[in-house]
C-alpha cells in the first residue's frame, strides 16, 4: 500500500481513488485479521464488507492523527466488535452491493488463505479468549502492529489505552496460552 499516494489523493479530494487504493492495499491483511478474530468465514466476510463500507464513507474524515494502516485496523476492529454486539443479527436478504462492497468481495474472493489443521488448534485456543484479548493477540502477532498502534486501534471513544499496559496484558496472555497449549498437548 502506498500511504503517501493515498494521503495525496485525500488532499486532492479524490476519495474514491483513495478508498479503492486503501481497500486493495490493506484488504488482504485486514481480512486475515478478521478471519483470525471471528473464526467464521461468513462473519469475516460480513465484517470485511462493513469495514470496506466504513472505510469508503469515513475516509473523507480521516484526520491523519494515526497512520492510515492503524486507522484501517481500528475501522476493522469496530466492524468486528459491532458484528459480535448485534444480537439481532440474522441472515436475511442481502442489501444490494455497493462499489466498496464489490471491491471488498474482489479482495476477499481472490484470497486463497485456507485454515489448516494447525490453525484450527490455535483457533480453539483463541476461542477461550475474550474478543479484546483475541484482537490484542492478532494485532501484535499476525499483523505485527506496534504497541502504540494497537493502543490506537483498541481505544474507545474518550478512553485511551496505554501501550505499556497492553504489553503487560500481552505477556500475561502469552503465559496463559502457553499453559493451555501444554494442557491440550500442542506443545511440550
Task: Give the 3-state secondary structure of 108-169.
Answer: HHHCCCCCCHHHHHHHHHHHCCCHHHHHHHHHHHHCCCCHHHHHHHHCECCECCCHHHHHHH
- The model's pLDDT over 118-147, given as tens digits with 9 standing for 90+, comes to 667 777 787 888 888 888 988 998 888 999
Rounded CA-CA distance 181/188 in Å is: 8
Q: Is the pLDDT of residue 171 over 80?
A: yes
List 156's β-bridge partners, or say none. 159
pTM of model > 0.75: no
- Written as nine digits, the cell of 112 is 486463497
- The model's pLDDT over 59-114, given as tens digits with 9 standing for 90+, comes to 888 888 888 999 999 999 999 999 887 745 544 444 455 777 777 666 666 553 43
Q: Provide the residue count of the chain.
A: 188
Amino acid at each position: 500500500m502506498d500511504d503517501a499516494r493515498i494521503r495525496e489523493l485525500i488532499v486532492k479530494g479524490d476519495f474514491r481513488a483513495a478508498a479503492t487504493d486503501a481497500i486493495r492495499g490493506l484488504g488482504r491483511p485486514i481480512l486475515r485479521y478478521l478471519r483470525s478474530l471471528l473464526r467464521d468465514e461468513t462473519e469475516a466476510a460480513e465484517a470485511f464488507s462493513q469495514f470496506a463500507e466504513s472505510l469508503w464513507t469515513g475516509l473523507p474524515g480521516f484526520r491523519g492523527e494515526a497512520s492510515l494502516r492503524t486507522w484501517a485496523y481500528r475501522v476493522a476492529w469496530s466492524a468486528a466488535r459491532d458484528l459480535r454486539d448485534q444480537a439481532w443479527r440474522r441472515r436475511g436478504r442481502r442489501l444490494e452491493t455497493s462499489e466498496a462492497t464489490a471491491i471488498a468481495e474482489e479482495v476477499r474472493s481472490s484470497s486463497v488463505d485456507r485454515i489448516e489443521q494447525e490453525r484450527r488448534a490455535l483457533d480453539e485456543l483463541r476461542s477461550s479468549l475474550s474478543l479484546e484479548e483475541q484482537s490484542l493477540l492478532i494485532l501484535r502477532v499476525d499483523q505485527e502492529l506496534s504497541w502504540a498502534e494497537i493502543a490506537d486501534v483498541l481505544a474507545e471513544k474518550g478512553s485511551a489505552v496505554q501501550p505499556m499496559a497492553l504489553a503487560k496484558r500481552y505477556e500475561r496472555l502469552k503465559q496463559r496460552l502457553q499453559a493451555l497449549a501444554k494442557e491440550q498437548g500442542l506443545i511440550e
